[in-house]
Structure 1
Amino acid sequence: MNRVVLARYSEPLEWIKLIPDDFEVIIYNKGDRIDSPGVLQRASQIIDRPNEGRESETYLHHMLTDARDDDGFTVYAQGGPFEHSPDFISLLHTWKNWDDLQPMSWQWLSDKKVPPPLLLAEYERGLFGRPRVRLERFSLLTWGPIDFIDQGAWGMGNVYRAIHGGLPDGTNIASHFLSLAKLDDLAAEAERHMVGVFSYGAIFAVRNSRVAAVPAESIDILRNLAVSGVAVYGYILERLWLHLFGERFDLPKFAPRPL
């Protein structure tokens, strides 16, 4: 059976009763005790966890301790997915049409206008009523999006370079981070490219066999980074989840033109 894994802190969870029966629901709870009868009835498991490492630690802990190597899907989401994925429930109903790796978010926050409403409106016209899902392209070097200005994302890149000894501007941040996790082949692939894609809010679905293909040692390293107290690592991971499970990088590095 497919699964929905939720990283919950204080979000109300009564909405999980809307999750299709094709999915069991596993809640990792890092906040107050859950005592809603409807939530208790619908959840397959509720597992208390220390409040550390944001959703990254939750996902990685699950991958280390309860992952399966089969063709089922696991959906990874925060306890309140709807601000990032307003059509989350509708998307779950379409799971038989998913690719092995399925992004599931639309935006960061509408009130912050990230992405800009103009871009979302143009993209939505091409969906013709299908659930709203949009991948965001970003620079592997600056960490900012390709098609609009996001000062916060650029700031993440600046902080990452600073905490690693002042890496020079132009460093491939994705390659550097993946090397920390001993994912050398993936790091080398990132180094050959300039653009990646991600799903806002770290909301995505992936076939379990793809998760099982990632070395447990690397997942453990990533979990340790997530709980290290360096907040930027969680934001770096948010943009790399899809690539960790097989999404290709884009835009090969420019090469000199032959004379």
Structure 2
Amino acid sequence: MGLHKFIASDSTVLSDTISLYAEALSQVEGGKSEQYWTLLPPTIVVPKAVADVVEASFASIVVDTAFDEVMVGKMFSCICLPFYDTFCRYDSLKVVEMHRVVNFIFATLRQRITHRGVRMVQITSNLTTILRAIEDAEEEEPVVEALLTELWVELRIAEEVVAKVVSLPRSAVHLQRAVKIVREIEAVKEALAGGAGEEEGSGLVEKLDKLQYLTWQLTKTVGWKSVFQSVTLQEEEREVYSLAQLRRLILPNEVEE
């Protein structure tokens, strides 16, 4: 949108950051590809000030129209929708940050948890196998070997792997903590499998909240930040699912509008 040109700041650091960001965007290969901002080099910092300008610009429209919902809706359709239709279509929007994917999956589950045909997220791993090797070891060498063994954790929906991490245990303590979380996850999943009716809806949502919290804790414990993350080159690259694809996996019976 070129709004960075209208940002005035006495901060040299901010001005330089915005200039570098704008220049990097202009050099992105293809220029107009979907989610082009994800193609920026990792050294490029996305300045929050740019988002502030967009937010303030739209907020001023809301205020200037005396909070007229119809007029605001027309302005949104005129200014914002073309951008979303071109670059952020829901059926093609892909998110690579693990915490955001977890949020989306569980938000979708909460919406339809009492309905038939909802597919739960499954979490599988080799964590217990690695821990067992440490617990059974009588000498230090097997412990060291276990800590050098690759751990993996997968998120599956309808037998499809939608997220996976391949890493090394950060320490024996981290490994034990991760296994404890996995066991708690299994207990919650068993409890969820027992509920169904709408009268149990609130209880199911509480269990989903706990499952989401445990999943968050697991991702932090094993250092899982990207949807498909590996410490080795042996793990094949996978195509990241779009948000629409994830929703269809969870809600196969949902009729699309």
TM-score, normalized by length of structure 2? Answer: 0.24
Q: Give the greater-gyration-radius structure (CA).
A: 2
Structure with the higher helix share, 1 or 2? 2
Structure with the higher strand share, 1 or 2? 1
